[in-house]
A and B are shown apart, each in its own frame.
Chain A
């Protein structure tokens, strides 16, 4: 198992109800696996912000692993101790 710290930004934080949470995942899990687990665990409204109607990650959510942007469809794997930041776009002006 690996343990991941998830940080939520903006609307995602409000939907999750927490700013940070710790998640345990099986080894060789991808960011996509993480998003599926979070959507399943929290349900709506967080799930709808993370995943599209077809169950794939929303393309407008920004994902950072250790402050480097990654694209969930790349399939890159998470490592134990990674900090994943999930940001829902803001346009407040």
Chain B
């Protein structure tokens, strides 16, 4: 964001050849990704794959926030993590795994979960936020700060074989607090899920981030995508801004 605009090198053109011919993307879209910083929190089942997809697409810089060590029960869905790293810090492994794929990627790895104390600083580092935390408190914090700083936020979430996502553009679309004015109490930290569902919602979320950054296609603005992989139903429902939203009503 504060770095000067970098143009594409011949190495970039060689690596991204297959996507440079995507209609509406091209060299301009690739250059926009290269100059973009994206905050992904956390890098579990959804966020880890979001980060991997963004690294593959050529996003220049990722800010990752996730505390703690790899656990055995992470490995059905956290594809950035590996079996040999069980018991060791996720944030020591994630940047290395991402740079194996994309050595030019810049990673700011923060071994903390998003909190009141760090959220302003973390969002400040990014042009766009992809929200993948397993708790509403963290999601609502990122939403509040992204709206305050006027930065787009992609919220992607899953449960069992289902997923949902929407893209927030502060001042233009409903924000997460329009949907959930108070923290939903029925949500439990541990939920049933297959790793393929995490991968699906992550790829969709990364696609939204790329679209917003590159000005490609039509992001899910004012729309909630709801899908159920049990019967492969995908639906888009329109969502509303709350005139009295405590977060975005003054945007």
Contacts and interface: CB of A to CB of B under 8 A. Distances in A.
B236 interface: yes
Contacts of B45: 92-93
A82 B237 CA distance: 14
Interface in B8-63: 42, 44-47
B44 A93 contact: yes
B92 to A, nearest CB: 20
A90 B179 contact: no
Contacts of B235: 67, 85
B134 A11 contact: no
A10 B227 CA distance: 10
Main secondary structure of the interface of B (DSSP, over half): mixed
B153 interface: no
Interface in A3-59: 9-11, 13-14, 19, 48-49, 59
Nearest to B186: A49
Given A10-B162, A59-B181, A60-B184, A91 B226 contact: no
Contacts of B132: 93
B144 interface: no
Contacts, number: 94
Nearest to A70: B240
Nearest to B137: A91
B90 interface: no
Interface residues of B, number: 43
Contacts of B134: 91-93
Contact of A11 (B135, B186, B236): B186
A90 B180 CA distance: 11
B238 interface: yes
B135 A87 contact: no
Interface in A58-74: 59-60, 62, 64, 67-69, 71
B158 to A, nearest CB: 4
Contacts of B179: 62, 89
Contacts of B163: 90
B237 A64 contact: yes
Interface of B: 42, 44-47, 131-136, 139, 156-160, 162-164, 179-187, 191, 193, 198, 224, 226, 228, 230-231, 235-240
Give 7 nearest A-B pairs by CB, closest first: A93-B132, A60-B184, A90-B159, A92-B158, A89-B184, A90-B157, A67-B237
30 contacts: A9-B162, A10-B162, A10-B164, A13-B162, A19-B231, A59-B181, A60-B181, A60-B182, A60-B184, A60-B185, A62-B179, A67-B235, A67-B237, A69-B237, A85-B235, A85-B237, A88-B184, A88-B186, A89-B184, A90-B162, A90-B163, A90-B191, A91-B133, A92-B45, A92-B46, A92-B157, A93-B44, A93-B131, A93-B134, A93-B157
